[in-house]
Amino acid sequence: MDRVRAGIAAVDTPLPLDDAEAVATAIMTTDTVRKVAAADIAGSAARVVGVAKGVGMIEPDMATLITLFFTDAAVDDLDRVFRGVIDRTFNCVSVDTDTSTSDTAIVLASGAAGPVDPSAFEAALHEVSLSLTKQVARDGEGATKLIEVCADGAASAAQAKRVAKAVVNSPLVKTAIHGADPNWGRVAMAIGKATTAEEIDQSQVTIRFGAQEVYPSAADLTALTDYMRGDEVRIHVSLAAGQESATVWGCDLSDGYVRINADYTT
Q: Is residue 231 one of the residues assigned to a domain?
A: yes
- The domain boundary, picked from 138, 168, 197, lies at 138
What residues contact 30, with CB distance under 8 A and at least 6 apart?
55, 56, 141, 260
Same domain, 172 and 76: no
Q: Is residue 5 one of the residues assigned to a domain?
A: no
- The domain boundary, picked from 91, 115, 138, lies at 138
Confidence of residue 228 (pLDDT cuts 50, 70, 90): very high
CATH number at residue 156: 3.10.20.340
Contact status, residue 105 vs residue 92, Cβ threshold 8 Å:
no
Contact status, residue 119 vs residue 160, Cβ threshold 8 Å:
no
Q: 220 pLDDT exceeds 70?
A: yes
pTM for this entry: 0.91
Same domain, 252 and 166: yes
The tally of domains found in the chain comes to 2
Which residues are the active-site residues? 64
- The domain boundary, picked from 109, 138, 167, lies at 138
> How many beta carbons lie within 10 A of that of residue 265, not counting itself?
4
Q: 251 pLDDT exceeds 70?
A: yes
Same domain, 93 and 155: no
Same domain, 125 and 15: yes
36-64 residue pLDDT tens: 999 999 999 999 999 999 999 888 875 67
CATH number at residue 37: 3.60.70.12
Same domain, 52 and 168: no
123-134 residue pLDDT tens: 999 999 999 999
- Residue that wins the pLDDT comparison between 18 and 201: 201
Contact status, residue 98 vs residue 58, Cβ threshold 8 Å:
yes
Percentage of the chain surpassing pLDDT 90? 84
Same domain, 99 and 180: no
Confidence of residue 18 (pLDDT cuts 50, 70, 90): confident
Percentage of the chain surpassing pLDDT 70? 97
Contact status, residue 50 vs residue 93, Cβ threshold 8 Å:
no
Host domain of residue 169: 146-262
Q: Is residue 2 one of the residues assigned to a domain?
A: no
Q: What's the Cα-to-Cα distance from 109 to each of 19, 25, 44, 45, 75, rounded to whole Å?
A: 17, 22, 15, 14, 7
Q: What residues does 69 pair with on adjacent strands?
A: 50, 107
61-108 residue pLDDT tens: 756 799 999 999 999 999 999 999 999 999 999 999 988 777 899 999
Mean pLDDT of 236-263: 96
Same domain, 134 and 251: no
Same domain, 55 and 71: yes
By DSSP bridging, strand 66-71 and strand 47-53 are antiparallel
